[in-house]
């Protein structure tokens, strides 16, 4: 049997080397005779793991010293509420840019917690002739208008990515759940970055928060202690028992990324993978992309068959070739190939070859 390539949007494939190492040491971690799942999060061995994980992440993303790195519960959606509860207090307002499903979901949660009147939104997607593109307005106004601007630089469902930086007078909060560590970014441009882990970091449930220290002086609402950034900082992300196995796997993914040459090396491969797939889509009359070139996601490549009645046949034939989880999200239909850091170039090449063969077999 040839290798299975898993294009799932999340939980997504993890690097094979990381999974193998986890398997080898599952029952006996660090010579302790027990699994990493079975040791205290306060043991010196586990604390050493967390220190190494943080140091590796700081090195990979070049995170400045005035930022805290938190390992929290609750995935991406947990952070939708955490940012509101931690930063809006009783009278704060926030501005949300919307460019697809997840930024809209963040708005819904923010309005639920803060009230509709405290959350302003700007839709930055332009649709012309069925093609989506991003248009970011010039933001004027004063620093007092909003506590933060929230946006989602990679919309996992829609396959839209924003590569330019957001210029505005307010701290920028970015939901990088599906593109964190896929390319180099300047952390200094953000007040806070968060990401659910299950795409480029590790297993689901965990989320990573990178927050500038001055953000923690903003007034918070009364809230659940485990989502309180200040408590998380104070307790080294161990106010309560953290998701230790997910943290361990994240640490292994960071070590793997370092061994690959870090984020710049990863970014080069990611660009190569995405370029190959989009070039093929553009050259074909059988498939199409509905995203403008400058905003095509390098992580989630959404595409459609011109003849949508062939969708099911396409998915079944792909599965026969060990290419799995290509179905697009039900809200947008079509197909989606999620090609995160762990997807090797040969996986994308296998997909393109399959797509060519499929086209030949039906026309």
Tokens of 276: 């190959």
C-alpha gyration radius of the chain: 21
**Binding footprint of ligand PMP on the chain (CB under 6 A):** 10, 75-77, 102, 152, 156, 175, 177-178, 196, 204
327 is catalytic: no
199 is catalytic: yes
Handedness of CA 81, 136, 213, 185 (dihedral sign): positive
> Of 99, 158, 175, 228, which one is the catalytic site residue?
175
**Distance in Å, CB of 27 to ligand PMP, minimum:** 28
Tokens of 216: 């923690």
209 or 355: CB nearest ligand PMP: 209
72 or 281: CB nearest ligand PMP: 72
21 is catalytic: no
**Distance in Å, CB of 269 to ligand PMP, minimum:** 21
Handedness of CA 94, 10, 308, 305 (dihedral sign): positive
79 or 289: CB nearest ligand PMP: 79
Burial of 84 (0-12, 13-18, 19+ CB in 10 A): buried
> Of 29, 102, 247, 256, which one is the catalytic site residue?
102
Residue 80 CA to residue 90 CA, distance in Å, equals 17
Would you say 275 and 293 are in contact if contact means Cβ atoms under 8 Å apart? Answer: no
**Distance in Å, CB of 156 to ligand PMP, minimum:** 3
Cβ neighbours of residue 308 closer than 8 Å, sequence gap 6 or more: 333, 334
CB count in 10 Å sphere of residue 45? 13
**Distance in Å, CB of 66 to ligand PMP, minimum:** 25
Q: What is the DSSP letter of 327?
A: B
Structure-token match 């307005």, residue found: 137
> Of 56, 118, 158, 199, which one is the catalytic site residue?
199
Would you say 151 and 158 are in contact if contact means Cβ atoms under 8 Å apart? Answer: no
49 or 176: CB nearest ligand PMP: 176
> Which has the closest alpha carbon to 180: 290, 55, 340?
340
156 or 341: CB nearest ligand PMP: 156
86 or 178: CB nearest ligand PMP: 178
**Distance in Å, CB of 177 to ligand PMP, minimum:** 4
**Distance in Å, CB of 271 to ligand PMP, minimum:** 20
Residue 159 CA to residue 206 CA, distance in Å, equals 23
The residues that are catalytic are: 102, 175, 199
């Amino acid at each position: 049997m040839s290798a299975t390539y898993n294009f799932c949007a999340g939980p997504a494939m993890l690097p094979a080397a990381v999974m193998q190492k986890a398997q080898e040491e599952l029952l006996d971690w660090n010579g302790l005779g027990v699994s990493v799942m079975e040791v205290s999060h306060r043991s010196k061995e586990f604390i050493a793991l967390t220190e190494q994980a943080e140091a590796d992440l700081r090195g990979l993303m070049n995170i400045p010293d005035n930022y805290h790195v938190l390992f929290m519960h609750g995935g991406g959606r947990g952070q939708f509420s955490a940012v509101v509860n931690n930063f809006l207090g009783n009278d704060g307002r926030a501005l949300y840019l919307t460019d697809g499903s997840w930024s809209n979901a963040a708005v819904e949660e923010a309005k639920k917690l803060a009230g509709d009147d405290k959350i302003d939104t700007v839709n930055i997607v332009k649709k012309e002739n069925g093609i989506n593109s991003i248009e970011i307005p010039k933001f004027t106004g004063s620093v007092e208008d909003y506590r933060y601007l929230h946006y989602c630089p990679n919309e996992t469902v829609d396959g839209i990515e924003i590569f330019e930086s957001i210029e505005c007078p307010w701290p920028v909060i970015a939901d990088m759940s599906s593109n964190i560590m896929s390319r180099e970014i300047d952390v200094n441009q953000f007040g806070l970055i968060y990401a659910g882990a299950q795409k480029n970091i590790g297993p689901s449930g965990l989320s990573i928060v990178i927050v500038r220290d001055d953000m923690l002086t903003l007034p918070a609402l009364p809230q659940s202690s485990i989502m309180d950034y200040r408590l998380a900082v104070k307790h080294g992300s161990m106010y309560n028992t953290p998701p230790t196995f997910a943290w361990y796997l994240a640490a292994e993914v960071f070590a793997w990324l370092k061994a690959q040459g870090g984020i710049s090396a990863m970014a080069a491969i990611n660009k190569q993978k995405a370029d190959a797939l989009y070039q093929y889509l553009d050259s074909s009359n059988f498939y199409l992309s509905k995203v403008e070139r400058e905003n095509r996601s390098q992580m989630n490549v959404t595409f459609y068959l011109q003849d949508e009645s062939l969708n099911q046949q396409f998915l079944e034939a792909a599965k026969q070739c060990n290419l799995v989880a290509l179905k697009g999200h039900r809200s947008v239909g079509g197909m989606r190939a999620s090609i995160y850091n762990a997807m090797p170039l040969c996986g994308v090449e296998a997909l393109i070859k399959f797509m060519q063969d499929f086209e030949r077999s039906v026309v």
